[in-house]
Amino acid sequence: MVELDGVHFVRPIPPTDVSNPADTLLISGQERDLLCALSYVHLACGQSAQSLALLRLVAHDNCQDIDLLRIFAYALISEGLGGEALAILDRLDTLDDQPSSRLPLMLLRAHALRRAGRQDEARAVFQSYVSLRGATVLINKPTEGSA
């Protein structure tokens, strides 16, 4: 702290050079889980900007965490960043091979396309989602008289 004419000034912290990956601090699994939980709470409370800030601390270009990427895509969509969300959804398409993920990811893609201003594509993806969802409900619906 520097004092000039009775006024206290705080010296700014110099920016950290992150060009060398060895110089960056990695967070632990518990810290990552805490940041994800906090971001989820912010998102659930309608504070998507705060959620996104926390998620950006955890997510990086080579992230392979499917659950984190799902929340990240949703936060981006909530903040109106459809283009960024589409990039995350493209990554999820390659990482998440669970059949049960296809419909939710399709719905997220429709929202991301809408937020990116690509209305016609968003409408087409949403229509595909609705038709596939309807087909899934019919397949899974129990018939009358069954146990």
Assess if residue 96 is contained within a domain.
yes
| 5 occurs within a structural domain | no
Q: Which residue has the higher pLDDT, 60 or 6?
A: 60
Q: Does 89 map to a domain?
A: yes
Q: What local confidence, expressed as pLDDT, does residue 87 receive? A: 95
Q: How far apart are CA 142 and CA 131, in angstroms?
A: 19
147: in domain: no
Q: pLDDT tier at 15 (50, 70, 90 boundaries)?
A: very low
CATH code where residue 73 lies:
1.25.40.10
pLDDT (0 to 100) of residue 59: 86
User: How many domains does the chain contain in total?
Assistant: 1
More confident residue, 10 or 63: 63
State the pLDDT at residue 31.
87
Classify 70 as helix, strand or coil. helix
Is 22 a member of any domain? no
Compare 82 and 64 and report the one with higher pLDDT: 82
Residue 50 has pLDDT above 80, yes or no: yes
**What integer pLDDT is reported at residue 140 of this predicted model?**
57
Lowest pLDDT segment from 12-21, 34-43, 47-56: 12-21
Question: Does residue 103 carry a pLDDT above 90?
Answer: yes
Bridge partners, residue 8, by sequence = 3
* Within a domain: 19: no
Would 97 be classed as within a structural domain? yes
Give the torsion through C-alpha atoms of 86, 88, 94, 99, to 10 deg: -80
| pLDDT of the residue at 6 | 63
> What distance lies between CA 4 and its chain's CA centroid?
46
| Closest to 92 (Cα-Cα) out of 111, 113, 109 | 109
What pLDDT does residue 26 have?
75
Given the structure tokens 């993920």, which residue do they identify? 101
Domain that holds residue 97: 28-136
How many Å apart are CA 37 and CA 18, to the nearest integer? 26
Number of neighbouring beta carbons within 10 Å of residue 44: 10
User: Is 82:76 a contact under the CB 8 Å cutoff?
Assistant: yes
Q: Is residue 75 part of a domain?
A: yes
